[in-house]
Structure 1
Amino acid sequence: MIRISQLKLSVNHSEEDLKKKAAKTLKLQPADIRRVTVVKQSVDARKKSSEVLFIYTVDVEVAKEDKVLHRVNSPNIAKAEKKEYQFPEPGTERLEHRPVIIGSGPAGLFCALMLARAGFGPIVFERGERVEERKRSVLQFWQGGELKSNSNVQFGEGGAGTFSDGKLNTLVKDPLMRNRKVLEVFVEFGADPSILYKNKPHIGTDVLSVIVKNMREEIIRLGGTFYFQSCVTDFRIKDGALKAITVNGSEEFETDVTVLAVGHSARDTFERLLERSVPIEKKAFAVGLRIQHPQRDINAAQYGAAEIEALGAADYKVTHQCANGRGVYSFCMCPGGYVVDASSEPGRLAVNGMSYHARDGVNANSALIVTVTPQDFPEDSPLAGIAYQRRLEEAAYQCGGGKIPVQLYRDFKKKRATTAFGDVAPAFEGRYAMANLRDFFPDTLSESLIEGVEAFNGRIAGFSRGDAILAGVESRTSSPVRIPRDERFESSIKGIYPCGEGAGYAGGITSAAMDGIKTAEAVAARFSVPT
């Protein structure tokens, strides 16, 4: 195969246009091309006033490849190198019990799938419901029903990413092809194959929930076991090693390998681990507010037109360094999406963003967040970041009377409560109430956000419009703790394998899934398959 990069075509091109372009680049006729496979597709919107383009990297199959390569001379043409992910061969240490995985978010599911395919028969404990039941519970909560503390936007099969935009891009370097493996697994279980080559792939919450169910069924088919509504409530540790876990406060399971893939909101689990002297460190994270703009305005600012069918809803990523030294940046941007009530504890309120696969909602939203460090936490405990989150969430709950507190940007700047929306129509999943977010959001962070929004307006026209809708609080951007692990991915407490976002080693669906794969590799390369 011959790889060609930097092929540029109009976004309205046909499949035949791509083939003709590849043939012309290789100085061939289209009939000489046997097959064109898209490796990467990105968007070039720098010349909005003239034309938005797709930029491709493609692999081309032709006869006499070496002859063709010899004839053409371009830095954008080379022989394609095929790399594939390789899972390690099983190790030799004996396992007395099947490996246990706590949590069925991306880290836990991918760890379980890889171990199941290697014959380890993992056991997965998930505090929440199966994804089908979980979706019903979340919808009932959004419509005013009771919050289920163990099955909500944060907890349940699929993890917090199930109710998000389902973005699959990551900045994690990938020399061993784990990122590619994650995408291939998603396609295997129901994702559109285009995620294999799009520069910013996404799935959407509606499709992701189907994929999660399909992955679970495959793990079970391969000998894995799932226990739902099964919260791990204690750890029996003896002589520096984990011997057993307790589920739902009563049932004990012996274990010699337990993967902690609990997610960033498993606060009770972190508390119990600390009580059992498992090392935990506090770390920096970020907090902020969600902002909503009309999606058509974001499209116009990014693409030069309110709607380009071939491109769909536009996204953005913005950052700003404030005069006070803090950084402000967009996070989990959801084109055509909704701001959702992502609470998981009674009397505390958190928000997140979510999009369906079609991204056809009227608004774009993203979190505008500011980094907070242990110096911002009054306490010195390893769990000080959790206490900081909880105080903000309690204040947000009170501010909105138990509903998502919302405020127009112009009112936020003037520290006054909002009484009516402007031209931006609200797009929420969950009940909301007009309020004054300045009543609970710290002044230092608020002023940083305002400075950031004004700066972002210079890059995205209309970003600082007065009727943009703010909502808060966005407090679950990443884990406020890290559970240290060694080069074998094991805690200093033997048998505990910290994994994924909750343990402080990931920051999104893809990186969490990749960390689940890495943890599975560590277990499989060390131990023999249980008999």
Structure 2
Amino acid sequence: MAIRINNLTLNIEEDNSSLTKKVAKKLGIGVKSLPEIRIIKESIDARKKDSIKLNYCIEVSMENEEQLVKSINDKDVKIEDEVYEEEFNLGTKKLNTRPVVIGMGPAGLFAALLLARKGYRPIVFERGEDIDNRSKTVDIFWADGTLKENSNVQFGEGGAGTFSDGKLTTRIKDARCSYVLKALVKGGAPEEIIYKAKPHVGTDILKEVVKNIREEIKALGGEVNFNSTLNNITMENGKIKEIQVDEMKISCETLILAIGHSSRDTYEMLNKCGIHMEQKPFAIGVRVEHPQELIDKNQYGKYAGHPKLHAAEYRLSHTSKETGRGVYSFCMCPGGLVVATASEEGRLVTNGMSYHARDKQNANSAIVVTVAPGDFESKSPLAGIEFQRKYEELAYKAGGGNFIAPVQLIGDFLKDTRSQKIGSVMPSYKPGYELTDMRKCLPEFVVNSLKEGLVAFDRKINGFAEENAIMTGIETRTSAPVRIPRNEDLQSISLEGLYPAGEGAGYAGGIISAAVDGLKVAEKLIKKYAPF
């Protein structure tokens, strides 16, 4: 347990040493009597541009904590005992085969880590390459459009999040989040992610972190295999019996399936095997780019560029009056780049990425529109995948091939005019771009919703719909278009021993939530079975 103190505020020009004095004052003790304080959360309050403040949540461990808190009688001072209970009872049922984890994105990585730490010696199969070779493959793709379909921005060690921003913001309230953050710090992430309100690691650092977590899994008896694709699942009497990875058949009774949201061939295989899946809503749209300076000035006013303030972010949402669709920003990357993220030939997809410093000239974000099963062309559980493919193919053609992206100025988009030349904002997308009309590769309801949303967002961030701001098409992989239903034990309702996890199963939406879901699934397995 510890004492937690909320709502401690510093002015932006105030020295951090003032924080210790404010904690001591709250607790009614002298500064010299105060033990070391721990920052649990730091957030920026920029609602008043001429008086920006930093808000803190602080934790401190002391003797007689409960008596002290009762004597203070302050709602902002309380005992905090919500921690992830890692020391749960292990199961007793004997495992005849080692647990298998498919996929090494956040869900698979953290499921395997927990299993390894508990003595279960998991076997991990990842279709893509290890992070070092994967990085070389991705660099070649960004340089000249040479795609490797099994190892790319979507597939490989660390999952799709490795080539994004390493954003660790989540809306879920779960004590496991702390476990994930601490494991990332142990792997080499900066300690500030423990307490920052909007933490991020950055692609450059995250590459080393996932490698270090992999090495911990191996050191604890786990096995990690790259360039290894799950091709088939064999079942008997409603239970998993065997899996096929490439040409190799492996006896298996527990399989954590953490495939990510882009493993379309795996979804097709699961469908053929009779695994129950459902259509699921997602969103599609474009990446927009503005000068980071524009966003900073809108968010921070005269304090833009202050050393205590990072590159400014935004989160925007709007409901279209014309279409009734939600329009919102997604995966905002301050000081970042728009990157090519295709995983299939002839189909173009974009995403955003930042390095840890977030010091590039442009800010970018997806601006997307909600898509529902009613928009799909069939009742097949895979109809959402076909919807994505249709518009990814149109985007590929609109760019002229070789993963050249279609680009349009926002001013021209709002006037239904094909862009003829770039203005003051340079597109960051590689391997290249083609000026065109975004109506060629988006549904009409998305185009109309985007127009309305951009104008609405301009009222919140002055200059958001500025003539020269850039749109790059298209973004389709906001979340999985499929959900694999689970029972109360987090196993597939179709097959005992199959544990769908993370974004690919339709139960998460980001690095932290996917990692937490991986932990939850691993816990269920651990509580049922004895260590291998």
TM over 0.5: yes
TM-score range, shorter chain: over 0.9
Alignment-derived partner of residue 229 in structure 2: 231
2:382–2:482 contact (8 Å) kept in structure 1: yes
CA deviation after TM superposition for structure 1 residue 215, in Å: 0.5
Contact 1:362–1:427 under 8 Å retained in 2: no
Contact 2:145 2:431 survives alignment (8 Å): no
Aligned to 2:336: 337
Aligned to 2:453: 452
- Local SS of the residue matching 2:144: coil
Partner of 2:106: 106
Give how far 1:231 is off. 0.8
Q: CA deviation at 1:12?
A: 4.0
- 2:363 counterpart residue number: 364
In structure 2, the CA distance between the partners of 1:225 and 1:414, relative to structure 1 (3 Å rule), is: same
Cα separation, partners in 2 of 1:515 and 1:53, compared to 1, 3 Å:
same
For residue 75 of structure 1, report the CA deviation from its aligned partner: 2.1
Mean Cα displacement is larger for which, 496-505 or 32-41?
A: 32-41
What letter is aligned with 2:368?
A: I
In the alignment, does 2:239 pair up with 1:241?
A: yes
Alignment of 1:54-203 (within 5 A): 54-61=54-61, 69=69, 72-81=72-81, 83-174=83-174, 177-203=175-201
Alignment RMSD (CA, Å):
1.6
Larger mean CA deviation between 387-396 and 272-281 belongs to: 272-281
Question: Is 1:502 aligned with 2:504?
Answer: yes
How far 1:410 sits from its partner (Å)? Answer: 1.1
1:517 partnered with 2:519: yes
**How far 1:431 moved relative to its partner?**
2.2
Who is 2:309 aligned against? 311
Distance 1:15 1:378, change over 3 A: same
Tell me if structure 2 keeps the 8 A contact 1:409–1:469: yes
- 1:138/1:422 Cα in 2 relative to 1: closer, same or farther (>3 Å)? same
- Post-superposition CA distance 1:245-278 (Å, at most 9, x none): 1122x21111011111000000000001101111
Alignment of 1:469-480 (within 5 A): 469-480=470-481
Residue 386 of structure 1 aligns to which amino acid in structure 2?
Answer: I
Name the amino acid aligned to 1:519. Answer: V
Cross-structure match for 2:376: 377
Q: Report the equivalent of 2:204.
A: 206
Asked if the contact 2:271–2:277 (Cα under 8 Å) also holds between the matched residues in 1, the reply is: yes
What is the DSSP-based 3-state SS (H/G/I as helix, E as strand, rest coil) of the residue aligned with 2:460? coil
How far, CA to CA, are the matches of 1:515 and 1:91 in structure 2? Answer: 19
**Does residue 266 of structure 1 match 2:259?**
no
Would you say the 8 A contact 1:131–1:156 is kept in 2? Answer: yes
Structure 2 counterpart of 1:500, which letter?
G
Q: Which residue identity is paired with 1:230?
A: S
**Is the CA contact 1:164–1:353 (under 8 Å) kept in the aligned structure 2?**
yes
Output the amino acid matched with 2:138: V
Aligned to 1:39: 40
Question: How far apart, CA to CA, are the structure 1 residues paired with 2:87 and 2:293?
Answer: 45
Give, in angstroms, the shift of residue 85 of structure 1: 3.0
Cα distance in 2 between the residues matched to 1:12 and 1:265 = 46
Change (3 A) 1:253 1:15: same
Q: 1: distance between equivalents of 2:514 and 2:65?
A: 39
In the alignment, residue 372 of structure 1 is paired with which amino acid? V
Q: CA deviation at 1:511?
A: 0.5
**Which residue in 2 is equivalent to 1:396?**
395
Gaps (5+ residues) in structure 2? Answer: none
Distance 2:232 2:161 in 1: 26
Instruction: Indicate conservation of the 8 Å contact 1:242/1:255, yes or no.
Output: yes
Give 1:249-288 correspondences, 5 Å limit.
250-288=247-285
- Structure 1 residue 28: deviation in Å? 3.6
Residue equivalent to 1:295: 292
Name which of structure 1's ranges 298-307 and 221-230 shifts more when overlaid on structure 2. Answer: 298-307
Distance 2:381 2:62 in 1: 59
CA distance in 1, matches of 2:145, 2:474: 20
Question: Structure 2 length normalisation: TM-score?
Answer: 0.96
| Alpha-carbon distance between aligned partners in 1 of 2:457 and 2:145, rounded to the nearest angstrom | 38
Deviation, 1:421, is: 1.3
- Shift of residue 437, structure 1, vs aligned partner: 1.1
Give the Cα separation in 2 of the matches to 1:487 and 1:69: 38
SS in 2 for 1:208: helix
- Residues 115 and 411 (structure 1), Cα distance of their counterparts in 2 relative to 1, 3 Å cut: same
Closer/same/farther in 2, CA of residues 26 and 435 from structure 1, 3 Å limit: same
Query: SS of 2:155's equivalent?
Result: coil
- Residue identity (%): 48
Deviation of 1:238 (Å): 2.6
Q: Secondary structure at the match of 1:143?
A: helix
The match for 2:53 is 53
How many Å separate the matches in 2 of 1:320 and 1:105? 31
Looking at structure 1, the residues matched to 209 and 431 of structure 2 have their Cα atoms a distance apart, in angstroms, of: 24
Q: Secondary structure at the match of 2:112?
A: helix
Using the TM superposition, name which of 262-271 and 227-236 deviates more.
Answer: 227-236
- Residue 349 of structure 2 is matched in structure 1 by 350
Following the alignment from structure 1 to structure 2, what is the Cα–Cα distance between the partners of residues 488 and 76?
37
Structure 2 counterpart of 1:3, which letter?
Answer: R
After TM superposition, give the deviation of residue 137 of structure 1 in Å: 0.3
Residue 64 (structure 1) shift: 6.5
Deviates more, 1:68-77 or 1:301-310: 68-77
The 1-side partners of 2:432 and 2:352 are apart by: 14
CA positional deviation for 1:281? 0.9
**C-alpha distance in 1, partners of 2:285/2:268?**
25
1:61: Cα distance to partner?
4.8
Per the TM alignment, residue 79 of structure 1 is displaced from its structure 2 partner at its CA by 3.7
- Please identify runs of 4+ aligned residues in structure 1 that moved more than 6 A: none
Contact 1:330 1:366 in 2 (8 A): yes
Aligned match of 2:17? 16
Distance verdict in 2 for CA 1:12–1:494, change over 3 Å:
same
Determine the structure 2 residue equivalent to 1:406: 407
| Deviation for aligned residue 1:152 | 0.4
Aligned residue type for 2:216: E
Deviation of 1:69 (Å): 4.3
Aligned residue identity for 2:486: R
Pair 1:235–1:2, CA change in 2 (3 A): closer
CA displacement at 1:404 relative to structure 2? 1.2
Unaligned runs of 5+ in 1: none
3-state secondary structure, aligned to 1:458: helix
Report whether the alignment pairs 1:437 with 2:435: no
2:423 equivalent in structure 1? 422
| Structure-2 separation of matches of 1:489 and 1:51 | 48
- Who is 1:218 aligned against? 216
SS of match in other structure, 1:216: helix
Q: Is the 8 A contact 1:35 1:62 kept in 2?
A: no
Deviation of the 1:83 alpha carbon: 2.8
CA, structure 1 residues 79+278, in 2 after alignment: closer, same or farther (shift >3 Å)? Answer: closer
Distance 2:471 2:436 in 1: 10
Q: CA deviation at 1:67?
A: 6.9
State the TM-score, normalizing by the size of structure 1.
Answer: 0.96
